[in-house]
Amino acid sequence: MQLTLWTYEGPPHVGAMRIVTAMRGMHYVLHAPQGDTYADLLFTMIERRSARPPVTYTTFQARDLGGDTAELFKDAARNAYETFAPQAMIVGASCTGELIQDDPAGLARALDLPIPVIPLELPSYQKKENWGAAETFYRIVRSLTKPVTDRQSSSTPSCNILGPCALGFRHRDDLYEIKALLAECGIAVNVVAPEGATPADITRLGDADFNIVLYPEIAQPAAEWLKKNCGQPFTTTIPIGVNATRAFIKEICALAGVTPPADDMNARLPWYSRSVDSTYLTGKRVFIFGDATHALALARVARDEIGYTVCGLGTYTREFAREVRAEASAHGIEALISDDYLAIEAAIAAAQPELVLGTQMERHIAKRLGIPCAVISAPVHVQDFPARRSPVMGFEGANVLFDTLVHPLMMGLEEHLLGLFRDDFEFHDEAAPSHLGAKKAAAPMAQPANEDWSPEAEKELKKIPFFVRGKARRNTESFARERGLFPISVETLYDAKAHFGR
Partner 1 sequence: MNAHAPIPNPNCEKPVLRERGQHEVFCGLTGIVWLHRKIQDAFFLIVGSRTCAHLMQSAAGVMIFAEPRFATAIIEERDLAGMADMHDELDRVVTQLLARRPDIKMLFLVGSCPSEVIKLDLSRAAERLSQRTLPRTRVLAYSGSGIETTFTQGEDACLAALVPLMPADQDSSLLVVGTLADIIEDQFRSLFQAIGIDRVTFLPPRRAGELPGIGPKTQILLAQPFLGDTLKALEARGATRIDAPFPLGAEGSELWFRAAAKAFGIDHQKVTAAIAAPLERARLALSRHRERLTGKRIFFFPDSQLEIPLARFLSRELGMVPVEVGTPYLHRQVHAADLALLPDTQISEGQDVDRQLARCRAAKPDLTVCGLGLANPLEAEGLATKWSIELVFSPIHGFEQAGDLAELFARPLARAEKLRV
The set of catalytic residues is: 277
Closest CA to 163 of 190, 188, 138, 189: 138
- Beta strand 336-337 with 309-315 is parallel
Residue 189 DSSP SS3: strand
Please report, to the nearest 10 degrees, the dihedral formed by the alpha carbons of residues 161, 167, 171, 172 taken in order: 100
Residues 60-79, interacting with partner 1 (CB under 8 A): 60-62, 65, 76, 79
| 446 touches partner 1 (CB under 8 A) | no
CA distance 142 to 451: 67
Dmax over CA atoms of the chain, in Å, equals 83
Q: Of 47 and 177, which has the nearer Cβ to partner 1? A: 47
Size of the site for partner 1 (CB under 8 A): 55
DSSP 154: P
Provide the residue count of the chain: 502
Residues 98-137, interacting with partner 1 (CB under 8 A): 99-100, 123-126, 128
Q: How far is the CB of 132 from partner 1 (least distance, A)?
A: 10
Chosen residue from 22, 42, 133, 140 binding partner 1 by CB under 8 A: 42
Q: How far is the CB of 404 from partner 1 (least distance, A)?
A: 20
| 253 touches partner 1 (CB under 8 A) | no
Q: Of 40 and 403, which has the nearer Cβ to partner 1? A: 40
What's the sign of the alpha-carbon dihedral 483, 487, 492, 496? positive
Q: Of 54 and 221, which has the nearer Cβ to partner 1? A: 54
| 7 touches partner 1 (CB under 8 A) | yes
Residues 331-360, interacting with partner 1 (CB under 8 A): 360
| 266 touches partner 1 (CB under 8 A) | no
Closest CA to 297 of 266, 327, 329: 327
Site string for partner 1, 468-487 (x = CB under 8 A): --------------------
Q: Of 24 and 303, which has the nearer Cβ to partner 1? A: 24
Q: Which residues are paired to 29 by β-bridges? A: 56, 91
Tell me the residue ranges of DSSP E strands in 210-279: 210-213
| 11 touches partner 1 (CB under 8 A) | yes
Element (H, E) at 501: none
Q: Of 97 and 157, which has the nearer Cβ to partner 1? A: 97
Element (H, E) at 89: strand 88-93
Give Cα 368 to chain centroid, integer Å: 21
Chosen residue from 89, 93, 120, 361 binding partner 1 by CB under 8 A: 361
Q: How far is the CB of 242 from partner 1 (least distance, A)?
A: 33
What's the sign of the alpha-carbon dihedral 64, 70, 73, 79? negative
Q: How far is the CB of 360 from partner 1 (least distance, A)?
A: 8
| 500 touches partner 1 (CB under 8 A) | no
Q: Of 111 and 490, which has the nearer Cβ to partner 1? A: 111
Distances (CA, A) of 315 to 130, 153, 208, 222, 387: 13, 40, 33, 22, 28
Residues 186-225, interacting with partner 1 (CB under 8 A): none
| 38 touches partner 1 (CB under 8 A) | yes
CA distance 422 to 428: 6
Closest CA to 137 of 73, 233, 58, 201: 201
In this chain, which stretch among 1-9, 151-159, 214-222, 283-291 interacts with partner 1, using CB under 8 A?
Answer: 1-9
Please report, in angstroms and rounded to a whole number, the separation of the first and last CA atoms in the chain: 45
Residues 82-101, interacting with partner 1 (CB under 8 A): 83, 94-96, 99-100
Residues making contact with partner 1 (CB under 8 A): 1-7, 9-11, 13-14, 33-42, 44-45, 48-52, 56-62, 65, 76, 79, 83, 94-96, 99-100, 123-126, 128, 360-361, 364, 368, 381
